[in-house]
Amino acid sequence: MNIQYVQGDCIFTRINKLTKQYEYLTENIDTDVIIVGGGVTGAILGYYFNKNNINAVILEKSRIAHGSTSITTSLLQYELDSNAMMLKSYTSIDKIIRSYELGIKALDEIEEFIDKYGNTCDFKKVDSFLYTAKDIEKKELEEEYKVRNEAGLPVEFIEKGNNPFSFDVKAGVLSKGGGAKFDPYRFTHNLLKVSCEKGLRVYENTEVVGVNYSENGVTVETIYGHKVKGKIVIVATGYNTELFTKRAFGTKSTTFNIATRPINNIEDIYNGVNVRDNEVPYNYIRTTGDNRIIIGGEDINFLPDIFNEELCSKSYYKLEQRLKNLFPKLSIEIEYKYCGAFASTQDNLGFLGKDPKNSKLWYCLGYGANGILFAMLGGIMLSKLYLGEVDEDLKLFKVDRFDS
Ligand X SMILES: Cc1cc2nc3c(=O)[nH]c(=O)nc-3n(C[C@H](O)[C@H](O)[C@H](O)COP(=O)(O)OP(=O)(O)OC[C@H]3O[C@@H](n4cnc5c(N)ncnc54)[C@H](O)[C@@H]3O)c2cc1C
Contact residues toward ligand X (CB under 6 A) are: 36-42, 59-62, 66-69, 71-75, 207-208, 236-238, 240, 243, 255, 257, 296, 340, 342, 366, 369-373
Assign 256 to helix, strand or coil.
Answer: strand
Short-list 371, 364, 357, CA closest to 56: 364
Name the minimum Å distance from CB 75 to ligand X: 4
Residue closer to ligand X (CB basis): 170 or 288: 288
Name the minimum Å distance from CB 207 to ligand X: 4
Helices 184-196 and 40-51 cross at an angle (nearest 10°) of 30
Q: Which amino acid is at 288?
A: T
Residue closer to ligand X (CB basis): 66 or 148: 66
Residue closer to ligand X (CB basis): 185 or 386: 185
CB 173 within 8 A of CB 143: no
Short-list 7, 17, 67, CA closest to 37: 67
Name the minimum Å distance from CB 328 to ligand X: 25
Q: Is the alpha carbon torsion for 289, 375, 298, 14 positive or negative?
A: positive
Name the minimum Å distance from CB 278 to ligand X: 17
Assign 38 to helix, strand or coil.
Answer: coil
Residue closer to ligand X (CB basis): 6 or 330: 6
The CA dihedral of 225, 249, 148, 143, to the nearest 10 degrees, is: 150
Q: Which residue is nearest to ligand X (CB)?
A: 371
Residue closer to ligand X (CB basis): 276 or 354: 276
Name the minimum Å distance from CB 253 to ligand X: 9
Name the minimum Å distance from CB 62 to ligand X: 5
DSSP 8-state assignment for residue 100: H
CB 29 within 8 A of CB 229: yes
Residue closer to ligand X (CB basis): 66 or 360: 66
3-class SS shares of the chain: helix, strand, coil, % to 5: 30, 30, 40
Name the minimum Å distance from CB 305 to ligand X: 17
Q: How far apart are the first and last CA of the chain?
A: 28
Q: What is the distance between the alpha carbons of residues 299 and 276, in angstroms, rounded to a whole number?
A: 14
Residue closer to ligand X (CB basis): 108 or 159: 108
